[in-house]
Amino acid sequence: MAVAERLLVIGGGPAGLEAARGAADLNRPVLLVEARDTLGGTPWESYATLTPHLKPTKEIMAGMLTAVEDHPLVDVRLSTRVVAREGEAGRFLVTLEAADGSRQVEEVGAVVVATGFQHFDPGRETQMYGYYEYDDVITLVDAERMMQAGKVVRPSNGEPPARVAFIQCVGSRDRHIGNKYCSKVCCGIASKQSIEIKHLLPDAKVFIFYIDMRMYGFWEDQLYWRAQEEHKVNYIRGIVTEVIKKGDQLLLKGEDTTMGRPMEVLMDLVILSVGMEPSAGTLEMARVFEIPREEHGFLATVGEPLDTVTTPVAGVFVAGAAAGPKDLEDSVSMGGAAAMKAVGLLSRMSRTPA
């Protein structure tokens, strides 16, 4: 079998961009397929600023996009999905479908799936926080939109909130809804947003209600301590079980687990720290490439912790949040590792044809 030279990267978020650029820099032609009409993935679409430096997402990520868009070896197809595949490692035939419904079959040697995650829907099942009932209950993603506009207000009346609460672990670490994992980034993102709210509204009181704070590596120092010491954000160990309307405010009911007593507090704005679930595109790629899913629903890999990108399907690699909750550092590192493994495989196969 003649080994196809090209690498297919599916998903143009941080992980896919790094995989595409890495493989192309190793002199491998790359076909990059992205379902949306722009590259950049979830951060580009949804987040105003990024941890740990709180700099604008578009400023930080622009170079990643142009490195791929301007690379002579990367063929970018926007508004396109992979809908079918045949063949095996060394020669896959993939069917691409464009937004207008037209289809095209392309030959590629190996594949990197980087189709990412979606935010947990806080209206689902056991969630008692009134996201779809109360205007002033929003998510981290809604708050990022406000940050983008440079204005944090109560959606119900357009006024700045005097008291803001974050509720952590919404849709994560919750066996009742089947998400038995920590989403890894939301403690850091809530801390980042609390600092940004205090910048915009210095007189507001900001509270973060948590089961336990999970900060990784330098985020502890860059976000958690900074939020408390420089910005006087209040971290309260407690479980919020219910949010109800009281007058024109929101009453949070639950338990203060440090004090071991029931808790009821009034807030003007509640921000739900929603976690990560596999995206619809990730589930679709599991089906198309017959990639098994690990017990939490993300794409399975073999060889962890030493190999985070090789799936059980020969010639198919995964990078980023398609394989589980990841921050940007993880996602970009995995993109590079997946590119290297895929290029290595194709080089080995070309040297020793079957």
Ligand X SMILES: Cc1cc2nc3c(=O)[nH]c(=O)nc-3n(C[C@H](O)[C@H](O)[C@H](O)COP(=O)(O)OP(=O)(O)OC[C@H]3O[C@@H](n4cnc5c(N)ncnc54)[C@H](O)[C@@H]3O)c2cc1C
Tell me which residues touch ligand SF4 (CB under 6 A).
168-169, 172-173, 182-184, 186-187, 214, 273, 275
Q: Which is nearer to ligand X, 56 or 160 (CB)?
A: 56
Measured CA to CA, the distance from residue 270 to residue 136 in angstroms comes to 6
Per DSSP (E only), the strands in 159-309 are 163-170, 205-210, 234-246, 249-256, 261-267, 269-274, 276-278
Binding flags for ligand X, 22-41, as an x/- string (CB under 6 A): -----------xxxx----x
Binding flag, residue 140, ligand X (CB under 6 A):
yes
Instruction: Report CA-CA distances (Å) from 299 to 16, 36, 87.
Output: 15, 21, 20
Angle, helices 14-25/57-69, rounded to nearest 10 degrees: 40
- Tell me the closest approach of the beta carbon of residue 140 to ligand X, in angstroms: 4
Q: Which is nearer to ligand X, 152 or 349 (CB)?
A: 152
Binding flag, residue 333, ligand X (CB under 6 A):
no
Judge contact between 42 and 117, C-beta under 8 A: yes
Q: Cα 126 vs. chain centroid, distance in angstroms? A: 23
Q: Which does 327 bind (CB under 5 to 8 A by kind): ligand SF4, ligand X, none?
A: ligand X
Q: Which is nearer to ligand SF4, 21 or 214 (CB)?
A: 214
Binding flag, residue 137, ligand X (CB under 6 A):
no
Measured CA to CA, the distance from residue 346 to residue 43 in angstroms comes to 31
Q: Which is nearer to ligand X, 41 or 238 (CB)?
A: 41
Q: Which is nearer to ligand X, 118 or 156 (CB)?
A: 118
Binding flag, residue 301, ligand X (CB under 6 A):
no
Instruction: Report CA-CA distances (Å) from 38 to 43, 66, 145.
Output: 12, 12, 18
Stretch that binds ligand X, among 160-168, 174-182, 232-240, 274-282 (CB under 6 A): 274-282
Residue 72, preceding peptide bond in cis (omega within 30° of 0): no
Sheet containing strand 205-210, edge to edge, reads 137-139, 269-274, 163-170, 205-210, 234-246, 249-256, 261-267
- Tell me the closest approach of the beta carbon of residue 173 to ligand SF4, in angstroms: 5
Measured CA to CA, the distance from residue 117 to residue 96 in angstroms comes to 21
Interacting positions 2-21 with ligand X (CB under 6 A):
10-16
Contact pick of 68, 321, 342, 345 for ligand X (by CB under 6 A): 321
Residue 325, preceding peptide bond in cis (omega within 30° of 0): no
- The full DSSP string for 226-253 is HHHHTT-PEEEEEEEEEEEEETTEEEEE
Give the binding-site size for ligand X (rule: CB under 6 A): 40
- Tell me the closest approach of the beta carbon of residue 132 to ligand X, in angstroms: 18
- Tell me the closest approach of the beta carbon of residue 145 to ligand X, in angstroms: 11
Measured CA to CA, the distance from residue 328 to residue 123 in angstroms comes to 27
Q: Cα 135 vs. chain centroid, distance in angstroms? A: 24
Instruction: Report CA-CA distances (Å) from 193 to 95, 173, 242.
Output: 41, 21, 22
Q: Which is nearer to ligand SF4, 51 or 249 (CB)?
A: 51
Q: Which does 182 bind (CB under 5 to 8 A by kind): ligand X, ligand SF4, none?
A: ligand SF4
Structure tokens belonging to residue 189: 């993102």
- Tell me the closest approach of the beta carbon of residue 95 to ligand X, in angstroms: 12
**What single-letter DSSP state applies at residue 179?**
B
Q: Which is nearer to ligand SF4, 187 or 252 (CB)?
A: 187
- Tell me the closest approach of the beta carbon of residue 52 to ligand X, in angstroms: 8
- Tell me the closest approach of the beta carbon of residue 158 to ligand X, in angstroms: 23
Interacting positions 74-133 with ligand X (CB under 6 A):
81-82, 114-117, 119
Binding flag, residue 42, ligand X (CB under 6 A):
yes
Q: Bridge partners of 267?
A: 250
Q: Which is nearer to ligand SF4, 168 or 282 (CB)?
A: 168
Measured CA to CA, the distance from residue 348 to residue 315 in angstroms comes to 12
Binding site for ligand X (CB under 6 A): 10-16, 33-36, 41-43, 47, 50-51, 81-82, 114-117, 119, 140-141, 185, 189, 276, 279, 281, 284-285, 320-322, 326-328, 331
